[in-house]
Structure formats: structure tokens, C-alpha cells
Amino acid sequence: MVNSLIYKLSTDIAKIVSEIKESVVTIITEVPHVLSLFGYKELTGVGSGFIIEPGLIITNAHVVRGAARVIILYHDGVSEEAEVIALDPYRDLALLRIDRNIKAASLGDSDSINVGEIVLAIGSPLGLPGPSVTLGVVSAVGRTIIGENVILEDLIQTDAAINPGNSGGPLVNAEGKVVGITTAIIPYAQGIGFAIPINSAKRFIEMLKLFGRPVRAWIGVYVAPVTPQVAYAIGSTVSEGVMVVRVVPGSPAHRVKIREGDVIVKANERRVRSVKDLRLAIEESIDKGYVELEIYRGRSLMRLKVPIVVEEL
């Protein structure tokens, strides 16, 4: 019985990989590197990506940032040069345009992910020709991680091995649908990996189509979901919302005196349960110019109108 279950799991995984591998690509970048006495030379980098829509590849921003040329290597060995058309360092996402007609990966719903789900990380780890596959489970969701020169919110945490070169590749669930975009930007991660939720990528593309260019709407806070355990640890009576973990000096949030440890429970009269809820409320309020927040500081409830800054990226 056990052997038959293992065999079925094995064949199911092999089928998933077979169906998605055409959509997964290796990304080779050439980045100019200035030499003090001898001009410059090209440094080569390697990452991963996948077809998110016909003619469009999504990957991590840090994979292609600063690249003079971006070469796409497909699963069948064919290569072509791609154009970087949008880059969002705050979501660590980039969009590339290609000429070749390759089928897009099937996208899932990252909001419905459950801890314990089996996932596959697919890409080109350590620069080795891909796609290569690692297996793991979703070990946590809603992580806010501080990396080198970047803070990433609402990440999926997994124990599937993610190495340099895997960055930008898909995190796939047991239905063969992409639920995340793996990132190896966190240098101190040991035995765990992180992925950007696919719904963040969908929103990134929506914003690009809406404004015609990548923009960031922000108020100057980084937040993490509040759980009963977090509420107990910080002595809060609020068990649902998002906790402010950092306030950017000089930002709108700083000017209206939002502090680290404050818990945001509502935005525009709607409950805030996740980082995504707050980000969506801010983006939907761009035309209005401010977002209305309800915030608990200890036992005190505050209502604030926080101006929104819209930056072209």
C-alpha cells in the first residue's frame, strides 16, 4: 500500500514537471563591471524565469538589474535576447518581453495556500542547465524578511531547496499551478527558501497595464501579519491585523506618527488581515491621495488619514 502511494506521488510529480518545463527558462545576464585601470568587462549572471503570459517572462528584479544584455535559454536549447520592460525592486519582480511563442505556465491562487502543502521549486540552481527540481512543503506564509538592501513582505516560506540560479523560477503546487516566484535574495537563509506570492505578480502586471509603467504606491511602512502568538508576544489585545515592523523616516507614515509595533486593523473601512489587504487598499486609493487607517497602539484605537506617495520605478 505504502509503495503504491509513493509510486503514485512520484509519477504525479514527474507529470507536473513534464507539463511545466516548457514554460520555465534559464536567464543569462551580461552586466558591465568597471575596472579601475582597464575600462570594463562583462560579468555573467544566471537566474530563472517562466512564461506568465504569451510573449512575457517574469523573474526577480535582482536577476536582471543592471544587465546590458539578457539572454533567454529555453528547455530545448534555443536561445534569444529578451527586453526588460518593467522592473519593481520593491516586489523583487521584473517583466521581460520575448519574440518566441511559448505556452504560459498555469497560475494558481497564492491566497489559498495552506501550510504543509507540497510544492516544487523549478529552475536553474547554481547556473546548471535547467530545469532542475526540488521538493518541499510550504512551511509558513506571510513572512516579512529583511535582506541585503531590500525588505520583502508577504513571502511564502518553504523547505524546498532554493539556490542562486533558482531565483525567478516558479514554485508549483500539487495541481501543477504556479503559486510563487522563488527568490534567493536572502543571504542568511539556511535550510529554508522564500517565494513571492503569484498574486503579487498578477497585481504587478495589473498596475503596469493600468499606468503604462511600473509604479509604487506607498505610505512608508513595512508590516507583517498578526497571529495570536504574535499578539501574545507583544502584549496586544488585537489578534487580527498587520503589525508595523518598520517606519521609513520622512515618509507619510512617519509624519502622521505611526510607530513600530502599531497594529493596523482596517483600511478604508475594510478589515486588514494580511500585507496584501493593506497594499491593495493603498493602491485603490491612489486617485484619492490618502488611505484611511484604523490602528491600535496598545489598547488605544486611532483613526488616521495617511497621504499616499506614488513613485515611478
Q: Which three cell numbers stand for residue 12?
A: 504525479
Q: Could you identify the residue written with the cell 511545466?
A: 20
Which residue out of 110, 124, 132, 167 is catalytically annotated?
167
Q: Could you identify the residue written with the cell 511600473?
A: 214
Compute how many other C-beta atoms are within 10 angstroms of the C-beta atom of residue 26.
25
DSSP characters over 167-231: TTPEEEETTS-EEEEEE---TT--S-EEEEEHHHHHHHHHHHHHHSS-EEEE-SEEEEE--HHHH
Q: Which three cell numbers stand for residue 245?
A: 515592523
Which residue out of 23, 62, 154, 274 is catalytically annotated?
62
Query: What is d(CA 166, CA 164) in angstroms, rounded to the nearest whole number?
Result: 5
- Angle in degrees, CA 17, 135, 119, rounded to 5: 75
Query: What is d(CA 75, CA 201) in angstroms, rounded to the nearest whole number?
Result: 23
With beta carbons less than 8 A apart as the criterion, state whether 145 and 155 touch.
yes
Cβ contacts of residue 138 below 8 Å, gap of 6+? 113, 114, 115, 116, 117, 119, 156, 157, 158
Query: What is d(CA 25, CA 21) in angstroms, rounded to the nearest whole number?
Result: 8
With beta carbons less than 8 A apart as the criterion, state whether 199 and 276 touch.
yes
Q: Does 262 qualify as catalytic in the annotation?
A: no
Q: Does 132 qualify as catalytic in the annotation?
A: no
Q: Does 111 qualify as catalytic in the annotation?
A: no
Q: Which three cell numbers stand for residue 137?
A: 512543503
Query: What is d(CA 43, CA 61) in angstroms, rounded to the nearest whole number?
Result: 17
Which residue out of 23, 48, 88, 92 is catalytically annotated?
92
Catalytic annotation, residues = 62, 92, 167
